[in-house]
Amino acid sequence: MTPLTGKHIDRRTLLRGAGTAIAIPFLDAMLPAFGAPKSAKQARRVGVVYVPNGIVMKDWLPGKTGTDFAFTRILKPIEKFREDIVVVSGLSNHAAQKAKGGGHAKASGSFLSCAQPKYTAGADVRAGVTFDQVLARQFAADTRVPSLQIGCEDARMIGNCDTGSSCAYTNTLSWKDEETPLAVEVNPRSVFERLFGTVDPSLDPETRARRALYKKSILDLTRETTKSLVSTLGAQDKRKMDEYLTSIREVEARIAKAESDPEIPLGEKPSGIPFQYIEYVKLMFDLQVVAFQADISRVSTMMLGREGSVRTYPEIGVPDPHHPLTHHRGHPDFIEKVTKINTFHVELFSYFLERLKATQDGDGTLLDHSTILYGAALSDGNQHSNHNLPLIVAGHAGNQRGGMHVAAKPMTPAANLFVNMMNRAGVTAEKFGDSTGILDLSV
């Protein structure tokens, strides 16, 4: 334990060196001697993990509600997290149902706002502020990065991406306001630099100089301040710092490997993106864990693929493009391949949950203090259905218990769930979007 000297480390302490700054995780030494309990100011995090093109619902939806439900084929990879999750069914996105435009664009374009997107392929896009950005504004004063928008696929924001609907609707989830979609970042190096980048404003436009600087580990650049801080810590805090700094170094090493990977065909992918999709997704999840752990950011959205994605998955025996498969018209071979993709995505999500649950955070873990939404803006991709959305809520922020399948009354607005999530994050809200109340996840 930290000696009771009457001194404590400020929560916003940064390890600085050569134009970089590393935030540090929550430590016992951040509490004054004889101070308030750790839980008094415990930060809460909110994340969204999005999968495109809908889900094969017969292999997703549990047959029973309440606590005595069996995990279906698609959900099986997260069965070990039973007590950490709530499966939610019955919710609808009425805004997407009412809107004009491509079925994929209006689904993802309204998913987190529950507001109808304007039907346009031009620059005059319009939708609604998303609930993650309402939270980001609330947390902005306490975090270095208000929110992360991350993707694992092409993220262009202009042009026609779905039957006359703008790519801004299919390629991002977060909207700062009604007219400002927030582009997703698809390059792990860029995300890393945003989290731990230069603190010298004069260096911002000097991209080449910054890239050269990052050839040397940021941990090496901050070695002296790190050594000075660690020398003042107790055994438990030293262990926390070692785990945190090890995570950063591992992420750095994986990004550097991707940048020099000889397997990547010249010009095929931007620098820093792993060639293997599974490694790419895991790296992006790890960046979010580090951001949450150090309280650099408390809000993130991540798209495992853009809506309408035509990614292929040869690593699981599906060399066919994803989107066309979802328009299966009842063909059993196509349905089987989509089910494999859906299951693979849940396997990847399981990795994120595992990392959150294994990372200490104050008096619990990151999963204890987080609310993570996983799911899609479409249920049946073959019909572009916006009803009975496939959703999971993970984490225990706000003392939420897991181990349940909660079936809302059919046609309940999805916005009711977002109001619940906002309150669990500590932001009091009674209404959002087209909500009609707060979804009860205690039944």
- Answer whether 405's CB lies under 8 Å from 425's CB: no
Select, from the ranges 1-15, 122-136, 199-213, the one with the highest average predicted confidence (pLDDT).
122-136
Instruction: Place 45 in a pLDDT band, splitting at 50, 70 and 90.
Output: very high
CATH 3.40.720 fits 44-186+273-424, yes or no: yes
The pLDDT score that the predictor gives to residue 222 is 81
> What does the CA dihedral 244, 141, 144, 27 come to, rounded to 10 degrees?
-20
Indicate the domain borders of the chain: 44-186+273-424
40 C-beta neighbours (distance < 10 Å), count: 10
Instruction: Place 29 in a pLDDT band, splitting at 50, 70 and 90.
Output: confident
pLDDT of residue 38 exceeding 50: no
Q: Higher model confidence: residue 38 or residue 154? A: 154
pLDDT of residue 312 exceeding 60: yes
Residue with tokens 């993570």: 372
Of 59-63, 134-138, 150-154, 175-179, the range with the lowest mean pLDDT is 150-154
The pLDDT score that the predictor gives to residue 2 is 39
How far apart, in Å, are the Cα atoms of 407 and each of 49, 89, 112, 287? 21, 5, 20, 33
The pLDDT score that the predictor gives to residue 1 is 36
What average pLDDT does this structure show over 69-82?
Answer: 98
How far apart, in Å, are the Cα atoms of 112 and each of 46, 131, 266? 13, 6, 37
Q: What is the pLDDT of residues 135-165, one digit of tens each?
A: 999 999 999 999 999 999 987 899 999 999 9
For the entire predicted model, the pTM comes to: 0.91
pLDDT of residue 204 exceeding 50: no
The pLDDT score that the predictor gives to residue 127 is 97
Nearest to 417 by CA among 395, 392, 397, 396: 392
The pLDDT score that the predictor gives to residue 210 is 52
Q: What is the pLDDT of residues 242-288, one digit of tens each?
A: 989 999 989 999 998 888 876 666 556 666 899 999 999 999 999 99
- Answer whether 373's CB lies under 8 Å from 48's CB: yes
pLDDT of residue 208 exceeding 70: no
Sign, CA torsion 64/69/71/74: positive
d(CA 58, CA 380): 10
Q: What is the pLDDT of residues 222-244, one digit of tens each?
A: 888 888 888 888 888 898 899 89
Instruction: Place 37 in a pLDDT band, splitting at 50, 70 and 90.
Output: very low
Q: What is the pLDDT of residues 90-108, one digit of tens each?
A: 999 999 999 999 999 999 9
Q: What is the pLDDT of residues 378-402, one digit of tens each?
A: 999 999 999 999 999 999 999 999 9
What average pLDDT does this structure show over 429-439?
Answer: 97
What is the DSSP secondary structure assignment for residue 108, as one 8-state letter? H
Nearest to 193 by CA among 335, 307, 22, 36: 22
What is the DSSP secondary structure assignment for residue 413, as one 8-state letter? E
Percent of the chain with pLDDT over 70: 89
pLDDT of residue 3 exceeding 50: no
The pLDDT score that the predictor gives to residue 263 is 67
Apex 219 CA angle, 216 and 221, nearest 5: 60
The mean predicted confidence, pLDDT, of the chain is: 90
Look at residue 379 and give its three-state secondary structure. coil
The pLDDT score that the predictor gives to residue 364 is 95
Q: What is the pLDDT of residues 319-332, one digit of tens each?
A: 999 999 999 999 99
